[in-house]
Amino acid sequence: MNLIERVQRILLQPKDTWRDIEAEPTDARTLFTRYAMVLAAIPAVCGFIGMSLIGLGGLGITVRVPFVAGLVNMVVSYVMSLAGLFVLGLIIDALAPTFGGQKNPQQAMKVAVYASTAALLGGVFSLLPALAMLGLLAALYSIYLLYTGLPVLMKSAPAKSVAYTVVVIIAALVVGVVIGAVSTLVLPGTGALMGSGAAVSVNTPGGKVSVDTAGLEAAGKRMEEAARKMESAQKSQDPAAIAAATGEAAQAAAGALGAGGGVIAAQSLKAALPDKLGGLPRTGLEVQDGAALGLPTSQASAQYGSDDKQVRLEIVDLGGLGQMAALAMGMAQGEKEDTTSAEKTWQEGGRTLHQRYEKDGSHAEFKTVLKNGLVVSVEADQLAVKDLRGFLSQVDLNALEGLQRKGGKS
């Protein structure tokens, strides 16, 4: 199955394509590793670029989601969208007999994944927050794809297709609300994307940015196993078993790009924070290890300053999914400047760098995503961005790249 060709056909020739899909011996693992896990990255990555790198502007003011919070939101939204597709497939299967159809978990998962194609591709509008609402139009087309796919794959009665579609949509909205609520609990309070095989790569103006996807097959197997457990739990009507199997599916999705590989201990990150930065003494310290829904994180930050200067240095590890940060920033490489501020994203020595500053000198920030996915950032008021880069040179970035993750590799 060629991913790009399948996307084109399901969007342009849905009725014919559903008949082809019905006959394909595709299992859940292949559906997720070769299709859903690639497309689901589009809204997650584009949303991060739009809200944390580009921002929403108006009347001379630009609002951005804080960088680290944006990264975590990207990871969580990616994982939860995959979990949502997974649960949607179970719902489609469970409802089939009610509308004259036949239960078939494999076909139901096909409907859930392929019908979501338009909605996932619509995530590209998130690159420009002002256009994000256009993604809703794409989602509406996914409803049509669902309507045309249900009678073909689930053998539902044609006269009941509208009712079947409506009930599935309502169920999907409920799932979305639950996932949104779970996502808010997970998010910490903190200051050409196509391919298969060993890696997903994007060619950017500064070179190729790759995300290692060696764990996709293993993640797919875990999700397939979770599917069997959820089906068994659903038959038994055991809420505890259903919740446990759903959590297992979310953790398997989290492992799709290496999140299951663990993180570098926060104490190791703390050791990289110098006692002084640019001659400024360290005045505060914060260290945190955390994990939720299989999404491990660790961070260490320090405040440096005197009466007239305040600098914040932060090191964050999102595990293997830190590579998604490099991918997102790689896609956003370039320069932007207006009368009040300037920013630039580029690659240098295998690392992705980002700087932004106000031209009146009121604020500046400098960030780098290291080769192993660690994010190191420094920001300050009343200092030039070149000074911040000088501060960052006092941190042993090579040593940070050499740190080993617990339960995984650096």
pLDDT for the residue 113: 92
Whose CA is closest to 326, among 64, 71, 63? Answer: 71
pLDDT the model gives residue 127: 73
Structure tokens at 298: 């660790």
Per-residue pLDDT of the chain (410 residues; tens, 9 = 90+): 578 889 999 999 999 999 999 999 888 878 888 888 888 888 888 887 777 766 665 445 556 666 666 777 777 788 888 888 888 888 898 888 888 899 998 999 999 999 999 988 888 887 776 666 677 778 888 889 999 999 999 999 888 888 888 888 877 776 666 565 555 544 444 333 333 333 434 343 334 434 344 444 455 456 556 556 655 665 666 666 655 665 555 555 544 444 445 678 888 899 999 999 888 899 999 888 765 444 567 888 999 988 778 899 999 886 655 555 555 555 556 787 888 888 888 888 888 888 889 888 888 999 888 887 788 889 988 888 888 988 888 999 999 988 877 654 44
How many angstroms separate the CA atoms of 174 and 111, rounded?
18
Name the token pair of 83: 């979990």
Closest CA to 222 of 248, 202, 246: 248
- The helix (H) or strand (E) run that includes residue 335 is strand 334-337
Residue 365: phi, psi to the nearest 5? -145, 145
What is the pLDDT, as a whole number, of residue 200?
A: 39
Residue 378, exposed/middle/buried by CB under 10 A (0-12, 13-18, 19+)? buried
* The pLDDT value given to residue 199: 40
The residue extents of the domains of the chain are 3-257, 266-401
pTM of this structure: 0.55
Q: Are 358 and 342 in contact (CB under 8 A)?
A: no
Supply the pLDDT for residue 257. Answer: 42
pLDDT computed for residue 381 by the predictor: 87
CA neighbor of 200 nearest in space, from 315, 332, 45: 45
How many angstroms separate the CA atoms of 82 and 133, rounded? 21
